[in-house]
Homo-oligomer: A and B are copies of this chain.
């Protein structure tokens, strides 16, 4: 299932996709926030603050604040873990799924245009 990309094509793809995202959303999502969003929606749950911090190699407050922002946008929800009250489970939302899908479509469109 590996994708064969020659370096020049890969860079072009990334270039156009980045450009499209910057134009589309201004500054709505930073690189980190996008990484968190996609990780939550593409990797099987459950997702915790600690786990996200580990996979992104950042500190926990970064994740907390990013989740605050993503929560305000309606892209994720936080629920306390019923079996271990210390954990917080990050839940997906319809809005967030739509946004992730939108990003995927954008990349597909860019790929077609190259």
- Are B11's CB and A112's CB within 8 A? no
Interface residues of A in 66-114 (CB under 8 A from B): 100-101, 103-105, 107-108, 111-114
Q: Is A49 in contact with chain B by the CB < 8 A criterion?
A: no
- Are A32's CB and B27's CB within 8 A? yes
Most buried by B among A6, A104, A105: A104
- Are B104's CB and A8's CB within 8 A? yes
Chain A interface size band reads 35 or more
In this complex, what residue of B is CB-closest to A34? Answer: B18
Most buried by B among A1, A2, A22, A55: A22
In addition to A10-B111, A27-B32, 11 A-B residue pairs with Cβ atoms within 8 Å of each other are A1-B9, A2-B111, A7-B108, A11-B104, A19-B55, A21-B31, A22-B35, A22-B56, A22-B58, A23-B57, A31-B31
